[in-house]
Amino acid sequence: MRADVHRFSLKDPSDVSGLNEAIEKGDIDPGKIVAVIGKTHGNGLVNDYTRGYLTLCLSQLIGGRMGVSAESVRKRVPFVFSGGVEGVLSPHYVVFMVDPDADASGEEKSLAIGVAFTPELSPSDVGRQRQIDATAEAVSQAVTSAGIESPDDVHFVQVKGPAFTTDDIVAAGNASLTCATENPGKLMGFGRAASALGVAKALREIPANEALEAAVLHNFDAYSSVASVSAGVEVRVNEIIVAGLSRTWSGPLTIAHRAIKDALDIDSVTDLARDLGLSPGPQVPAAQARRIRAAFVKCEAQRDGTIRGRRHTMLNDGDIDQQRHIRGAVGAIVAAVLNDTALFVSGGAEHQGPDGGGLIALIVEKMI
């Protein structure tokens, strides 16, 4: 098997011209697309419809090129979009392709990709044991299908789970289903948290008896160092994309990750760049930066209202959501090091990396 990754910029959330041209030119075989991850123009909160808009446009393009329905494409391919390109961040999407027939020499590890889906989740499943367990099971399937031998070789697990509006939550209540919270924005947080614990359970980052509903948004010592979870109203299942390394795969790409300890932890970003053979000085030179194929970052506003002992104001702000603040801040730090603004930076890092921090994963071309 052989994985490849292409990144395209987005003029607006319906702009699929980049992928279209690549298919046109023969650079991309639409049938080999297994997943898409991207950053769209919306606010990344409940009422962000740019994620669904791009999902529709891309699935129609791919379906049209393959002669199948957009719906069948969406059933097979996770489209994981996170809204919010605050500050220097640039809207874009990353297309993951797998050639199942390519040979691998077995000598060196290459980027390996697996995808899976949970069954449909209702508003009352969100943040609950059912979401933890269904996610864990789907992650295990994706790891197996990717032929990744050890959990240590998993470097990034992207999950996209459902968000629900007040409409849905009220309907659930009318059907006697109790939701973890009645606040739509907060329910997104419960869903991210439970899904992250599911990833941690599957990869044995935490023991199964800690991957419990009671730990959700409570025991922040329990976390996955490779899970990145987003939620959006445009999906009804947890979609899973696992990215790691395997000798059964060939190809030009590799992947690595690091935990981010807090919102100022620039050292982990430069360390990760060095892990992958880049030379951040502190900025990766433009010529080297071209080796970067995709960057994924999770981050969050520290819950105690401080960073390294000084107050921040993100949690008290009634005008700008804390997620928009922290994405803009951590996104800028990573962009300044990587010399690249087309980064997937997602807020809401509950149980995703250390409390108050997050994680970063980078897919780059191997050094030659």
Considering beta carbons, is residue 11 or 75 the nearer one to a second copy? 11
Any long-range contacts for 302-306 (C-beta under 8 Å, 24+ apart)? 302/262, 302/263, 302/355, 302/356, 303/220, 303/355, 303/356, 304/356
Catalytic residue among 82, 110, 140, 160: 160
What is the pairing mode between strands 79-83 and 33-40?
parallel
Say which residues have a Cβ less than 8 Å from residue 144's Cβ, sequence separation at least 6.
Answer: 114
Active-site residue, 122 included: no
Alpha-helix residue ranges (DSSP H) falling in 209-345: 266-275, 286-289, 322-338
Considering beta carbons, is residue 203 or 314 the nearer one to a second copy? 314
Considering beta carbons, is residue 101 or 319 the nearer one to a second copy? 319
DSSP lists the bridge partners of residue 332 as none
Residue 8 to residue 43: CA distance in whole angstroms: 20
Least Å distance between CB 188 and a second copy?
10
Catalytic residue among 110, 230, 268, 346: 230
Picking from 274, 302, 247, the residue whose alpha carbon sits closest to that of residue 107 is 247
Residue recorded with tokens 């419960």: 190
Least Å distance between CB 162 and a second copy?
13
Residue 359 to residue 138: CA distance in whole angstroms: 21
Least Å distance between CB 130 and a second copy?
24
Considering beta carbons, is residue 48 or 205 the nearer one to a second copy? 48
Considering beta carbons, is residue 136 or 333 the nearer one to a second copy? 333
Least Å distance between CB 293 and a second copy?
15
Least Å distance between CB 174 and a second copy?
9
Least Å distance between CB 360 and a second copy?
13
Considering beta carbons, is residue 15 or 365 the nearer one to a second copy? 15
Q: Encoding tokens for residue 183?
A: 């606040």
Residue 289 to residue 364: CA distance in whole angstroms: 9
Residue 303 burial (CB < 10 Å; 0-12/13-18/19+)? exposed
Least Å distance between CB 207 and a second copy?
27
Strand order in the sheet with 79-83: 2-9, 92-99, 33-40, 79-83
Helix axes 17-24, 50-66, angle to 10 degrees: 20
Active-site residue, 160 included: yes
DSSP lists the bridge partners of residue 116 as 240
Considering beta carbons, is residue 320 or 367 the nearer one to a second copy? 320
Asked if 40 and 148 touch (Cβ cutoff 8 Å), the reply is no
**Which residues carry out catalysis?**
160, 230
